[in-house]
Chains A and B, each alone.
Chain A
């Protein structure tokens, strides 16, 4: 119960903090709109009627990853700058319980990105998205957010000892947009990319949202989101202990 409370309070606190940041909030909303606009022009030029719907949904979900990748990458660096990292690590609560809400808060910012991109597509490009399975959509969106948040948590832990973690987080942006099938069907990519995209929750989240919108069977994709999200959290918790131990041994928690 205390763990759940800590996650909830941390989530709200981190979310409020991110919402005050022009970089993590305002830019995170604008960024996918720029790329979505280019993609909308390209798909509109292609002339296939279904393509714009495909791009509209993809560009909307892209924003969730944008909001997560950079902010999660810099999560620990922010604490270093604020001078609170050592205090958080020394707190009796497991450090993973403090970091997990960061990942969840960053992906929650993605809701704003998603809404902004959908509205931009609707009003600037006349993209009218269908909603064949509203109930499934109500499940698919939170499942996608939670699983991407869990991936953000894993990234935050994995990049903990790098001073320039923001650059590594930012580096994951384009590759993830590409291999998770946001704007390009995975079938178009080389065969070896397929297995990589299968272990990435955004791939399944994107599928779930697409199938909920245009019709299909999103339940399997939603289940995969939850399964992968659980795997990321488990891996992240195990990694947290190793990373913290290494940082303590080298006395490099605040210096790395």
Chain B
């Protein structure tokens, strides 16, 4: 049967999947950070000025000085310094139910780390709240080894 005029004129649609499977070299400093995650530890690096950067960086963003290799263990607990609520997570986001993206300053760190906080309800979120990491059951040496942070009991 020939299509009706309306069917014939309806615009076509198609699913368009765009994906770039980037693989990124991380260098010796972040390489150490990710290797630590594989063993369920979190490390930062102490700058010459004495600040602890987490995640560790090869250079002090304030002075441009190389940071060397003074790695320090931080956390696992930390404090939320800022957050935003994600009420409709997208498929590749760390949690598939509503959660917060938060800046978490781990104990012993001077800079905050961006990660998800599984608070279940927005009303439980507040700046200054204490959180701890929830580790993925099988770690692989990547940021997702921390499945998310969760409120300390």
Does B bind A? Answer: no
Binding site for A on B (CB under 8 A): none
Q: Could you tell me which A residues sit within 8 Å of B by CB distance? A: none
